[in-house]
Structure 1
């Protein structure tokens, strides 16, 4: 029986490998142009309420809820078309694919993300990220609460968690302690919010952009 890999890299998607802030901004501009500012604001409010309720951003779920407030609008179905037809490969950060290949020399790369069961996998597949990790994709509601499931699915001696949310990195460090190395790319609105940087513990490694990680040598972790 093959031994489990010594090292597994767990890579977040939104604002880590892929510019989700840009997707959201483009969607809001589209809604304002096609449906008006008032309807854009209504959708934004629903989206935020749903994020607070679920713990992740659910674009399509918010559209379903928005529909309940405007069932007679014949153009409503065009709202989802924008997301489903969006050129998602354009959102992948420069250097992300090269990094995934680079990390493979030290261990197994796995996408670990929160999200819904429809648009999140659609986003990962149509951006090319699903193929880049050979289908090793885990999508949860609260990934920081799924450490046992993650380690069962992808057992390893050590993990490297790459995420733009310090809240996630702090929680995973508390759960796995010295078994995980946390990497914080300072990308996106969560990462750049000074309140988050004050509230949570500092990560093991901080980088400005995801592509910067390609210069980091992880060979020492394979000897743990």
Structure 2
């Protein structure tokens, strides 16, 4: 059993996913036109609501069924798979991981599908940075028993840009977890979200600010 395990979210915690989505929308508009961009994104949002995670490739597959005679669209899959995610790591993200590693194990705990999300983690360099300690679930806040079984620890620290996730995990683990809220990305700056959930144990301006924290901050 580890003394402490640090659990890092990926999208808008370590990777600037808002920038990724902006790049995707720009690519769709410039390569296929505004109508294709808007229709793809409408399907993407529908699937996000239904599934609870971003399903980029699933949205493409569904859109392909609507326009089966547009062969150029098939190249979008290559664009997504080959996207340079390493260039979208937040400044200081890897330094934050290295900083807390001195006190405990570091693990990725992410939502996502079983194809694109692992590819994102690999292409960004996070798979290597976390020594392959990667967990990706459909709804990670519902898989805390699995987290404890795979990474038993006396104490957990969850770093996530979504107060909804931090609140849900805190409700289950209580004092066993310290929640850390990097205020970056659109979820972290949405006033309605900020009002809807209790504050995290620790709030920081961005992921890079973890390097200013010491071990005692995460103590119960």
Structure 1 and Structure 2 fold alike (TM over 0.5) = yes
Please report how far the alpha carbon of residue 79 of structure 1 lies from its aligned counterpart in structure 2 after TM superposition. 1.1
The answer to whether 1:45 aligns with 2:46 is no
Cross-structure match for 1:132:
129
The answer to whether 1:63 aligns with 2:60 is yes
Q: Distance in 2 between matches of 1:132 and 1:75?
A: 35
Cross-structure match for 2:104:
107
Cross-structure match for 2:29:
32
Please say if residues 161 and 181 of structure 1, whose CA atoms lie closer than 8 Å, have aligned partners that are also in contact.
Answer: yes
2:140 to 131, 140, 143: 143
Q: Distance in 2 between matches of 1:77 and 1:29?
A: 17
Please say if residues 7 and 221 of structure 1, whose CA atoms lie closer than 8 Å, have aligned partners that are also in contact.
Answer: no
Please report how far the alpha carbon of residue 219 of structure 1 lies from its aligned counterpart in structure 2 after TM superposition. 3.8
Unaligned runs of 5+ in 2: none
Q: Distance in 2 between matches of 1:161 and 1:177?
A: 12
1:159 to 156, 162, 170: 156
Structure 1 segments of 4+ aligned residues over 6 angstroms from their partners: none
Q: Distance in 2 between matches of 1:172 and 1:18?
A: 21
Q: TM-score, normalised by structure 1?
A: 0.96
Question: Aligned with 1:78: secondary structure?
Answer: helix
Please report how far the alpha carbon of residue 179 of structure 1 lies from its aligned counterpart in structure 2 after TM superposition. 0.4
Q: Distance in 2 between matches of 1:59 and 1:170?
A: 27
Q: Distance in 2 between matches of 1:74 and 1:64?
A: 12
Please report how far the alpha carbon of residue 221 of structure 1 lies from its aligned counterpart in structure 2 after TM superposition. 4.5
Please say if residues 178 and 218 of structure 2, whose CA atoms lie closer than 8 Å, have aligned partners that are also in contact.
Answer: no
Question: Aligned with 1:64: secondary structure?
Answer: helix
Please say if residues 157 and 218 of structure 2, whose CA atoms lie closer than 8 Å, have aligned partners that are also in contact.
Answer: no
Cross-structure match for 2:192:
195
1:118 to 97, 115, 118: 115
Please say if residues 8 and 109 of structure 2, whose CA atoms lie closer than 8 Å, have aligned partners that are also in contact.
Answer: yes
Aligned length: 220
Question: Aligned with 2:66: secondary structure?
Answer: coil
The answer to whether 1:81 aligns with 2:100 is no
Please report how far the alpha carbon of residue 193 of structure 1 lies from its aligned counterpart in structure 2 after TM superposition. 0.5
Q: For 1:5-20, what aligned pairs fall within 5 Å after superposition?
A: 5-20=2-17
Q: Distance in 2 between matches of 1:123 and 1:130?
A: 9
Deviations 1:44-102 (A, max 9, x none): 10000000010011111110111110001010111112111211110111111111111
Q: TM-score, normalised by structure 2?
A: 0.98
